[in-house]
Structure 1
């Protein structure tokens, strides 16, 4: 009998560039051999690691931090933001940071720290939550963070030389053209939320939450405590 995979906490970053002109979103393509969503174009992101909860973060943005805390296990909000920044750094080579010494950075953050920066979540906006439906080889409780790339990214936003090989064809895709790419269903739903928020740079008043089981789909907006899964 096939075991149901556990639902893992995860975080993704939706980097938005040229918001007031020709908006573009940073995406990359997963490999053909990937267990989860092979060959799909996705936002940079991934599962929370145990060490993410120990990353020192300051200036957690409100009300995003409170909503994350209300919709998550105790202490998970900083870990989700750290995971978002880490995955974005690993998969794109781009940094969401602020100047500052970090002499005790753990191993997978040492290159980040060597640039003279510490991770900075202050411009992350929690805009969407979704749970992978049953029947998939992996399942995630994913939180999506929108960030204004023109303000938040340190250095050249077109320099992907430090990216891992997890995503290929990294590119800034015009929002008007992104639906022509091979996208997961939930990515299309999230992109609709991004498009609706182009003229709203601040945190949303409520956060959409999408989940489904074998029989039902649920789509609600989170104003406080998330409904149970």
Structure 2
């Protein structure tokens, strides 16, 4: 049960990383001043699940531990047919739309794609979930103009085909796309939850390996809760 009438939409976000001159870097962009949700904030590429993301083929699956954790704690009212694969597809689509970078492999689609996926299919690319690591989940608190049940994926830039500095294929949802040294990212105008995610990512990268659990900020009920998805 939610605490206000604003619906909670399932969403996915990609934290794309690479090694830079100052250490690990993350790809971020700035939301527009007129955006209804988090205007002017620097964020990772991401957005809500579309119905068309449910039937998207994946060149390779995500790691099984990620898939299992994504399947846990579904909210009442989630999109019908929502699966871990759907969330992976959303993350890859949002990265593609907002940055022009394809997390994909060469291949042929088994059937005609949905319109949002047609440009990727036309390039002979199939989305690839193997690089995704599920690292964070957060539900937007009540009282906001938009509410999302957002799953955050970490992915190394080596999974991207093409030049990771070429954003010419990006749509207009994010401005000032840039690779930001992770240790300097908090100097930008960030949403609170993004600051929390950055701290978690720093810890993961410094420790190395896959996460042993996924932090979950659950604001779906009358009392905010923090838990870990093991």
Normalising by structure 1, we get a TM-score of 0.90
CA apart distance, 1:212: 3.1
Q: Indicate how the Cα distance of structure 1 residues 136 and 82 shifts in structure 2: closer, same or farther if over 3 A, else same.
A: same
Distance 1:202 1:49 in 2: 31
C-alpha deviations, 1:83-107, integer Å up to 9, x for none? 0000000000000001112262222
Please name the residue that 2:218 is paired with.
211
Contact 1:134 1:214 in 2 (8 A): no
Please name the residue that 2:155 is paired with.
147
Distance 2:37 2:51 in 1: 21
Contact 1:53 1:75 in 2 (8 A): yes
Runs (4+) of structure 1 exceeding 4 A deviation are none
Partner of residue 64 from structure 1, selected from 63, 66, 81: 66
Distance 1:146 1:200 in 2: 14
Normalising by structure 2, we get a TM-score of 0.90
Instruction: Please list every run of 5 or more consecutive structure 1 residues that lacks an aligned counterpart in the other structure.
Output: 224-229
Contact 1:125 1:202 in 2 (8 A): no
Contact 2:139 2:217 in 1 (8 A): yes
Instruction: Please list every run of 5 or more consecutive structure 2 residues that lacks an aligned counterpart in the other structure.
Output: none
CA apart distance, 1:55: 0.7
Distance 1:222 1:192 in 2: 18
CA apart distance, 1:51: 0.9
Query: Counterparts of 1:19-168 in structure 2 under 5 Å?
Result: 22-57=23-58, 58-72=60-74, 75-102=82-109, 104-149=112-157, 151-168=158-175
Contact 1:69 1:75 in 2 (8 A): no
CA apart distance, 1:199: 3.8
Distance 2:170 2:200 in 1: 27
Aligned residues: 220
Contact 2:204 2:210 in 1 (8 A): no
CA apart distance, 1:213: 6.3
Q: Secondary structure at the match of 2:129?
A: coil
Q: Indicate how the Cα distance of structure 1 residues 115 and 200 shifts in structure 2: closer, same or farther if over 3 A, else same.
A: farther
